[in-house]
């Protein structure tokens, strides 16, 4: 089958957790990075849900693409499913991404399931910040998640004005 690619748009960008042989900035068209998933475990609780990132329809998203050797296909796919599909709020998809200064490749990607009860819909920055403020889950405060994401995006030279606006409102 050959090597395969994984597209990361949130914590996968700086903490992939799997072996890979190449990393490139990449753009996915037709989806945007958004705080559109109610978190009942990692960044909130059922009583006080937080928000985590998902890929939602519309626009485009700059993230990172990781090339994974074919020999690790089963191991990496199993790892990603355990990490991303805990509550089945994402759909696993193979989608075309454009590598920066390079070709289009098909990448394993996780997009939000708009029909899932955890789908928060399209929120403006003010409402997203209100949902994030004060939410805490097993992985820590929701504010920390958003601010950490913005800091890592900045370090990678990736601008996300909407997410930066949310971060300004929670600081």
Domains and CATH numbers, the chain: 4-170 (3.10.490.10)
Cβ pair 77, 108 in contact under 8 A: yes
Q: Kindly list the averaged pLDDT for each block of 10 residues, start to end, along the chain of length 171.
A: 94 94 97 96 95 96 98 97 94 97 95 97 96 96 96 94 96 75
The CA distances from residue 111 to 71, 75, 84, 171, in Å, are 25, 21, 10, 28
**Residues with catalytic roles:** 84
pLDDT at 14: 87
59-95 pLDDT, tens per residue?
999 999 999 999 999 999 999 999 999 899 999 999 9
């Amino acid at each position: 089958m050959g090597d395969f690619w994984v597209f990361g748009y949130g914590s996968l960008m700086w903490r992939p957790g799997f072996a890979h042989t190449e990393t490139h900035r990449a753009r996915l068209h037709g989806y945007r990075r958004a705080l559109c998933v109610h978190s009942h475990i990692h960044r909130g609780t059922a009583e006080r849900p937080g928000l985590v990132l998902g890929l939602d329809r519309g626009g485009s998203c700059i993230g990172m693409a990781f090339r994974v050797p074919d020999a690790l296909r089963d191991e990496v796919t199993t790892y990603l499913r355990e990490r991303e599909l805990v509550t089945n709020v994402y759909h696993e998809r193979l989608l075309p991404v454009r590598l920066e200064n390079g070709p289009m490749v098909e990448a394993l990607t996780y997009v939000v399931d708009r029909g899932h009860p955890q789908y928060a819909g399209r929120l403006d920055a003010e409402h997203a910040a209100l949902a994030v403020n004060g939410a805490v889950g097993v992985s820590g405060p929701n504010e920390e998640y958003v601010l950490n994401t913005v800091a890592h995006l900045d370090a990678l030279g990736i601008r996300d004005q909407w997410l930066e606006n949310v971060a300004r409102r929670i600081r």
